[in-house]
């Protein structure tokens, strides 16, 4: 089908001269939405010859990857999905080895090498452990894309330095490459590449361009005829067509549904009755509505007229419901199910009865540190729920946080959320800064893109503002373009503006708000932990003025100095 990823695959495996085949291989090519969201996966594994159960390890590794990878969240990146699945498989194999006769001799356990290829959109992703190999065909030669985890102790002796099932943790080699139509990739075990030259392998592929299975059989036979003493497995994948970079699956939704008519109080639309308008902006019109079937209040968000001709803006608009349906947290806005068919373009979410964090800060200009910390912790939990799904909020600001009627903070507005799995489908490119400048991390303005650490920065800005009523760097943070600009940012200590805060909190915020992303907290949970458990380095880093630490001693000192001055003046006067 035009516009979709299409590949041709050939594969073959044979025991060769050995009594049994301990290799295993497989490929999964999905259709429809799954092809777009997860791509195509191919994998092979090679069991170690010293083990009688290595064939079980090989089969488990390949089958688990090809089944479980496609069960991971569509929001996850290929890297995260693949690593999670392979690590789970490794843990399973390792536990079976530890519970078997091979506990003290891992070479007899559930151990295998593993190499996998995932092609999603316009990129190829490789996962590798051991000494099976992945190649890319370059004319009559092969470009090796993986490195062998094999250590040689002599010209004749070697051992595997890394394999699945050996240890409870495994280090997985991962890298990614762009793909183009006509690219050909080869996965192969050592029984073939140690026997045949790259020229012989590429020649067989070139001779069977219309039948890659025949090419695979030809290569296996040639390796056998030339005296290979191992199992023989090869997989060949040719990219016949790459998809055009485009917006994710919501694009079809945008194209099919008409925009709603003008709405007002008592208007009816798809089983919802409009109660009143909640908010209007250049991006959307937001209404409080009632589900006429259940009577439950919901929020109905309609795209504003200004964005209806902008497909990118419409994708961002629809992202809110897409994200809300995939993140389950009491601190994140939830989507609502519809009781009636949808005939117009809009999104439906829960109604949060309360006020924005912006209004809350106006109403509580001198909130206690304990209350601020509690709200920050709740916002942090909301961010962590997004991060677990490989999502970055990118637009965390007070206007995008609601405090409900019982005082719980909830994150809203996901139009700027970066979903790793979707970003891979769209392809790389220059992305605009979607967040609000005062709360966005400096790396966005330097064109470096965001990460979890960027959300930590935004949460740090909000925390600082809740405690001081100010922004940590003022407007200068949004004017950063170079490293020199980063070095010129000046942070104002919290205790200069709020003397009721613990002094050590300044160390926590300095780290969360560091201009350089790699010097911030790597995870939101680390930031929240330090808000409750002060590090010794933060406690000892800053000593407040003596007036704040011990006012009695300060004023005694001042009085003593004044007395000394006065006595001195009197002495001079009577001389």
The model's pLDDT over 446-458, given as tens digits with 9 standing for 90+, comes to 888 889 999 999 9
Least confident of 279-288, 404-413, 521-530, 552-561: 552-561
What is the percent of the chain with per-residue pLDDT over 90, rounded to a whole number?
57
Distance in angstroms (rounded) separating the CA atoms of residues 515 and 270? 48
Other CB atoms within 10 Å distance of the CB of residue 445:
18
Q: What is the pLDDT of residue 46?
A: 95
Neighbours of 531 (CB within 10 A): 21
Give the pLDDT mean for 526-533: 95
What confidence tens digit (pLDDT) does each residue in 303-339 have? 888 888 777 777 778 777 888 888 889 999 998 887 7
Indicate if the pLDDT at residue 253 is higher than 70: no
Q: Which domains does the chain have, with CATH numbers?
A: 6-241 (3.60.40.10), 250-350 (3.30.200.20), 354-544 (1.10.510.10)
If one compares 552 and 273, the residue with the highest pLDDT of the two is 273
Q: What is the mean pLDDT of the segment spanning 85-93?
A: 95
Q: Return the number of other C-beta atoms located less than 10 Å from residue 6's C-beta.
A: 17
Q: What is the pLDDT of residue 247?
A: 46
pLDDT mean over 228-250: 81
Q: Work out the average pLDDT over 536-549.
A: 64
How open is the CA angle 31-431-248, to the nearest 5 degrees? Answer: 20
Q: What is the model's pLDDT at position 428?
A: 45
Cα(28)–Cα(47) distance, integer angstroms: 21
Of the listed ranges 379-388, 411-420, 463-472, the least confidently predicted one is 411-420
**What is the distance between the alpha carbons of residues 238 and 9, in angstroms, rounded to a whole number?**
6
> Model confidence at 430, in pLDDT bands (50, 70, 90)?
very low
Q: What is the pLDDT of residue 244?
A: 64
Range 517-536 average pLDDT? 93
Give whole-number Cα distances, 286 to 275, 307, 309, 344, 410, in Å.
11, 14, 19, 15, 17
Residue of 554 and 114 predicted with greater confidence? 114
245 vs 5, which has greater pLDDT?
A: 5
SS (HEC) of 375-421: HHHHHHHHHHHHHHCCEECCCCCHHHEEEECCCCEEECCCCCCEEHH
Better-predicted residue by pLDDT, 571 or 54: 54
CA atoms within 13 A on the CB side of 434: 23
- Ranges 32-36, 134-138, 318-322, most confident: 134-138
Q: Which of 1-10, 99-108, 293-302 has the lowest mean pLDDT?
A: 99-108
Kindly tell me if the per-residue pLDDT of 358 is higher than 90.
yes
In this predicted structure, what is the pLDDT of residue 535? 86
Residues 163-198: pLDDT tens digits? 999 898 999 999 999 899 999 999 999 999 999 999
111-133 as b/e: b if 16+ CB within 10 A? bbbbbbbbbbbbbbbbbbbbbbb
């Amino acid at each position: 089908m035009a516009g979709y990823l299409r590949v041709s695959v050939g594969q073959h495996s044979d025991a060769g001269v050995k009594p049994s085949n301990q290799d295993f291989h497989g490929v999964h090519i999905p259709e429809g939405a799954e092809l777009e969201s997860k791509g195509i996966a191919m994998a092979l594994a090679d069991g170690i010859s010293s083990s009688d159960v290595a064939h079980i390890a090989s089969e488990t590794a390949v089958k688990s990857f090809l089944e479980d990878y496609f069960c991971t969240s569509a929001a996850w990146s290929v890297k995260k999905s693949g690593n999670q699945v392979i690590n789970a498989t490794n843990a399973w194999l390792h536990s079976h080895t530890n519970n078997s006769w091979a506990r003290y001799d891992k070479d007899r356990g559930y151990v295998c090498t593993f190499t996998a290829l995932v092609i999603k959109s316009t990129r190829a992703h490789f996962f590798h452990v051991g000494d099976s190999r992945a190649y890319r065909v370059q004319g009559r030669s092969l470009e090796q894309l993986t490195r062998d985890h094999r250590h040689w102790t002599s010209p004749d002796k070697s051992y595997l330095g890394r394999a699945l099932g050996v240890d409870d943790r495994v280090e997985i080699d991962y890298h990614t490459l762009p793909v183009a139509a006509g690219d050909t990739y080869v996965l192969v075990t050592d029984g073939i590449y140690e026997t045949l030259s790259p020229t012989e392998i590429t020649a067989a592929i070139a001779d069977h361009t219309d039948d890659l299975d025949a090419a695979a059989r030809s290569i296996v036979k040639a390796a056998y005829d030339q005296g290979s003493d191992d199992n023989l497995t090869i997989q060949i994948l040719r990219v016949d067509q790459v998809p055009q970079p485009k917006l994710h699956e919501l694009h079809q939704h945008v194209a099919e549904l008409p925009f709603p008519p003008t709405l007002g109080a008592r208007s009816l639309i798809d089983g919802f009755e409009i109660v009143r308008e909640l908010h209007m902006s250049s991006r959307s019109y937001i209404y409080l509505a009632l589900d006429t079937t259940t009577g439950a209040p919901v929020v109905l968000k309609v795209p504003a007229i200004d964005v209806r001709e902008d497909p990118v803006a419409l994708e961002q608009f629809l992202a809110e419901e897409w994200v809300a349906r995939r993140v389950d947290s009491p601190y994140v806005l939830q989507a609502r199910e519809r009781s009636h068919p949808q005939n117009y373009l809009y999104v439906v979410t829960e109604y949060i009865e309360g006020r924005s964090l912006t209004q809350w800060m106006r109403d509580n200009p001198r909130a206690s540190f304990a209350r601020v910390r509690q709200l920050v912790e709740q916002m942090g939990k909301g961010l962590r729920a997004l991060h677990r799904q490989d999502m970055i909020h990118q637009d965390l600001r007070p206007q995008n946080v609601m405090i409900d009627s019982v005082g719980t903070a909830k994150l809203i507005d996901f139009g700027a959320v970066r979903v790793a799995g979707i970003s891979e489908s769209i392809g790389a490119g220059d992305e605009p800064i979607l967040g609000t400048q005062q709360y966005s991390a400096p790396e966005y303005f330097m064109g470096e893109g965001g990460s979890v650490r960027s959300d930590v920065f935004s949460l740090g800005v909000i925390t600082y503002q809740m405690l001081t009523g100010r922004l940590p760097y003022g407007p200068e943070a949004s004017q950063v373009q170079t490293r020199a600009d980063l070095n010129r940012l000046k942070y104002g200590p919290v205790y200069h503006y709020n003397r009721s805060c613990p002094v050590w909190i300044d160390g926590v915020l300095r780290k969360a708000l560091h201009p350089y992303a790699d010097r911030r907290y790597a995870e939101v949970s680390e930031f929240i932990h330090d808000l409750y458990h002060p590090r010794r380095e933060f406690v000892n880093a800053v000593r407040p003025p003596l007036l704040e630490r011990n006012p009695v001693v300060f004023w005694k000192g001042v009085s003593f100095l004044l007395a000394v001055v006065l006595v001195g003046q009197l002495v001079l006067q009577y001389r």
